[in-house]
Structure 1
Amino acid sequence: MAKILIIEDEELMLKALEFRLKKDEHEVVVAKDGREALQKIQSDTYDLIITDIMLPFVSGLEIIGKVKQTPHLAHVPMIVLSAVGLENVILEAFDLGVDDFITKPFNLTELTIRVKKLLKK
């Protein structure tokens, strides 16, 4: 069982992700904005982090940068979710070190497959 942090400000999306990942027998921790996410990544460790790009207070890109600069988290795989299909944002996310990018809306089964793949590494 993996411990997964989900950072997502859309309530319905957050609930759907949380439900699906718990159903897949993962331990799920949620953050509803960037500020809450930064508190959680400073106080705990995770096996995988899933983050939205557009978040209140602190952006997903800033969170990626912070995670990748934090020694005990730098190795943690990250998946970015975003309705923003802007190529420069996607490229910046990969430059910062994310492992995967999924454009919203997406299929939860597809997310499950990508999560399993990253957790095997």
Structure 2
Amino acid sequence: MKKIVLIEDESLTVKILEFLLKKEGYDISVAKDGNQGMELYKATRPELVITDIMLPFKSGLEITAYIKEHDPNTPVIILSALGSEKQTLESSKRIGADAIIAKPFSKSEVLDKVHFFTQNARA
């Protein structure tokens, strides 16, 4: 079973993504803030990380930068309500985010990206 770490502080978004991804057979671990997310990533070494940008304690950009520095083969999808802001998109790409999904998102967009990255994940 492919492991995904979801780092998101918005309860409704967590419930939606957890339901959607568990239904597809993924093993989901959830962190509600940046510090928990970083610890969960280190403890589980998942095939994929999905993180919000705006989080308590550490931002999704900080988490992505850390992951890409220490394990560049782990794909990271960033969720953002700020998705249309050019600066956010540029920052995400510059630090190595593999994909950005704007909130609100569609089920098909999430599943397409998750399936792509988990099928092409490191061995």
SS in 2 for 1:12: helix
Aligned counterpart, 1:9: 9
Give the Cα separation in 1 of the matches to 2:20 and 2:5: 13
Q: State the shift of 1:120 in Å.
A: 2.1
- Residue 44 of structure 1 deviates from its aligned partner by 2.2
Tell me how many residue pairs correspond in the alignment.
Answer: 119
Structure-2-length-normalised TM-score? 0.92
The alignment partner of 1:54 has SS state of coil
State the percentage of identical aligned residues: 40
Q: Distance in 2 between matches of 1:43 and 1:50?
A: 16
C-alpha RMSD over aligned residues: 1.0
CA distance in 1, matches of 2:24, 2:43: 25
| Structure 1 match to 2:106 | 107
Cα deviation digits, residues 66-108 of structure 1 (max 9, x gap): 11111xx321111111001211111111111111111100112
Residue 81 of structure 2 corresponds to which residue in structure 1? 83
TM-score, with structure 1 as normaliser: 0.94
Moved over 4 A (4+): none
The DSSP-based 3-state class of the residue aligned with 1:58 is coil
SS in 2 for 1:49: strand
Q: Distance in 2 between matches of 1:79 and 1:31?
A: 15
CA distance in 2, matches of 1:116, 1:41: 19
